[in-house]
Amino acid sequence: GNSVTQMEGPVTLSEEAFLTINCTYTATGYPSLFWYVQYPGEGLQLLLKATKADDKGSNKGFEATYRKETTSFHLEKGSVQVSDSAVYFCAPYGNQFYFGTGTSLTVIP
Amino acid sequence: GAVVSQHPSWVICKSGTSVKIECRSLDFQATTMFWYRQFPKQSLMLMATSNEGSKATYEQGVEKDKFLINHASLTLSTLTVTSAHPEDSSFYICSARDRKSLEQYFGPGTRLTVT
């Protein structure tokens, strides 16, 4: 069946530090891959996505590359800001979304 | 941008009572809406998929008589938790698929506590 394993948090970083949140998945076929972000008190927002192998999704300085050979979609950002503090969800999509457990990120000034 | 609202944002009810949660797409029409449940520090789990004007499709293990879903219009779906028990306490999140773009947007969630 389909599943996703996401790096557990919480993660605490200083402002301008480098961020990596690991995500690996198992799926039948080749799903589209998504990262969603949830800010405190708000709904899930689409952060970025990639629909086929080697595609790179990017938004707001975040990037993730669809790696078919390692079935991974790791989220990276070169320099985090306090405003990036949120919970991040990795979510492959085949015929439905499969969500990771979420990784809580706190960025301190 | 596309917005999905949920009401209420949190609710406390007594064991044995029923509670209704509304999900609305505010600036787009959604022929399909989804209901998820999230336990603390766990994944969102899909409970059911509702299509406007037809019966909802429930995921395996979800009691359809306990979690009643109605999708009466292109902008509104409701989830009613009937005869709630403490184990039903959870965070319920809805999502709506834009009928034009097919993008899926998520609501802010409703926290249900059953005492």
pLDDT of residue A40: 79
Evaluate whether B106 touches B95 at the Cβ level (below 8 Å): yes
Q: Is the pLDDT of residue B43 over 80?
A: no
Q: Which two tokens stand for residue B99?
A: 């009928």
A88: confidence class by pLDDT, cuts 50, 70, 90: very high
- Contact criterion met (CB < 8 Å) for A99 and B106: no
CA–centroid distance for A73 within its chain:
7
- Give the A window 14-73 contacts with B, CB below 8 Å: 36, 41-46
Question: For the residues of chain A, what is the DSSP string, one character each?
Answer: --EEEE----EEEETT--EEE-EEEE-SS--EEEEEEE-TTS-EEEEEEE-STT-EEEETTEEEE-BTTTTB--EEESS--GGG-EEEEEEEESSSB-----EEEEEE-
Chain B: residue nearest A9 by CA? B41
Whether B87 shows a pLDDT value over 90: the answer reads yes
Per the structure block, which two tokens stand in for A16?
């301008």
Q: Do B108 and A43 touch (CB under 8 A)?
A: yes
**Is A100 close to B43, i.e. CB distance below 8 A?**
yes
With 90 as the cut, is the pLDDT of residue A50 above it?
Answer: yes
Candidate from A43, A46, A101 with C-beta closest to B41: A101
Whole-number percent of chain B with pLDDT over 90: 79
Q: Mean pLDDT for chain A?
A: 92
Task: Using alpha carbons, list the distances in angstroms from residue B95 to A64, A71, B98, B103.
Answer: 24, 26, 10, 10
Q: Is the pLDDT reported for residue A107 higher than 80?
A: yes
CA distance B82 to B103: 31
Other C-beta atoms lying within 10 Å of the C-beta of residue A64: 26
**SS3 category, B86:** helix
Of A42, A46, A99, the CB nearest to B44: A99
Q: What is the mean pLDDT of residues B13-23?
A: 97
